[in-house]
Amino acid sequence: MKQSYLETLEIEPDRSATASVIWMHGLGADASDFYSLVSQLGLPPEPAVRFVFPNAPKIPVTINMGMIMRAWYDVTEFGRKDQDEPRIRQSGAWIDEVVAREVDRGVDPGRVVLAGFSQGGAMALFAGLRQHESLAGLICLSGYLLLDEELESITKGGGPFPPIFQAHGTEDPVVPYDTGLRSRDLLAAAGYGVEWREYPMGHQVCLEEIRDIGVWLIGVLNSGQPEAGFSGPSDRP
């Protein structure tokens, strides 16, 4: 069986898994951050879903005065274009290893979902859009596109084009709401089907959002076709 560099926590179904959700935490959190969320999703017994929560490595984070914490990549200032490309690509490769391990355990790539919050959501998009085979879907919560200048070359290569659930708080002080909107519009303009949700909250998750994620997961894992949502560029000013 393929091994991953990343340590993981897992929630196993009561029978052999036929689908997997790989969920990346945000800056400074760890693999346990969304562990308790699973029971709130309202998922039915079928399909049998394994939840995998990887731990990001510990690195010095510039924006937090160089403190060492779990992070998928360094952040010098939120919103800057000069992103930490080497660590982004390395973390993407490690997430690829987690995906490969799920496939090796018998889960079809088309039954794997990459999900994450904040930095984790950004990494879910980054790794998911660059898979050789299309995944079941991608979930980006309070996150954004990384290295978005590469999006055109990815789509010109023929995809893949997994469905995307993207959600953001309208009062987010960490990853601004407009940053989420811009990422949404770029994805939609590139041809991705984006299910967009927004909630009156800050940089967090809420119960309504968790329920919406559950409904979306049921759609992509049972039929491969989530309920119709936003699929075009923003008409907001």
Query: Mind listing the pLDDT tens digit for each residue in 133-180?
Result: 899 999 999 999 999 999 988 887 776 799 999 999 999 999 999 999
- Total structural domains within the chain: 1
Q: Is the dihedral of CA 18, 213, 150, 66 positive or negative?
A: negative
Contact (Cβ atoms closer than 8 angstroms) between residue 70 and residue 28: yes
Whether 228 is in a domain gets the answer: no
Give a yes or no: residue 126 inside a domain: yes
Contact 109, 133 (CB under 8 A): yes
- Assign 225 a pLDDT band (cuts: 50, 70, 90): very low
What does the pLDDT read at residue 231? 40
The overall average pLDDT reported for the chain is 90
| Nearest to 103, CA basis, from 176, 28, 158, 52 | 52
Give the mean model confidence (pLDDT) for residues 111-131: 97
Whether 237 is covered by a domain: the verdict is: no
Q: What is the CATH number of the domain that holds 106?
A: 3.40.50.1820
Answer whether residue 229 is part of any domain: no
Q: What per-residue confidence (pLDDT) applies to 222?
A: 87
| Domain limits for position 108 | 8-222
Q: Mean pLDDT across the stretch 113-124?
A: 98
Check 172, 183, 185, 212 and give the catalytic one.
Answer: 172
- Reported as type and span, the H/E element at residue 104 is helix 85-104
Rama region for 47: left / alpha / beta (φ>0; ψ in -120 to 50; rest): beta
Report pLDDT for 156.
Answer: 79
Give residue 234's pLDDT.
38
Classify 192 as helix, strand or coil. Answer: coil
In Å, how far from its chain's centre is CA 133?
Answer: 16
Answer yes or no: 172 catalytic: yes
- What percentage of the chain's residues is helix, strand, coil (to nearest 5)? 35, 20, 45
The catalytic position among 108, 203, 231, 234 is 203
Active site residue 118: yes
CA distance 181 to 103: 32
Kindly provide the residue ranges of all beta strands, DSSP E only, lying in 4-93, ordered along the sequence. Answer: 8-11, 19-24, 49-54, 58-61, 67-70
Which of 20, 91, 118, 183 is flagged as catalytic?
Answer: 118
Q: Residue 145 falls within a domain, yes or no?
A: yes
Residue 141 lies in a domain: yes
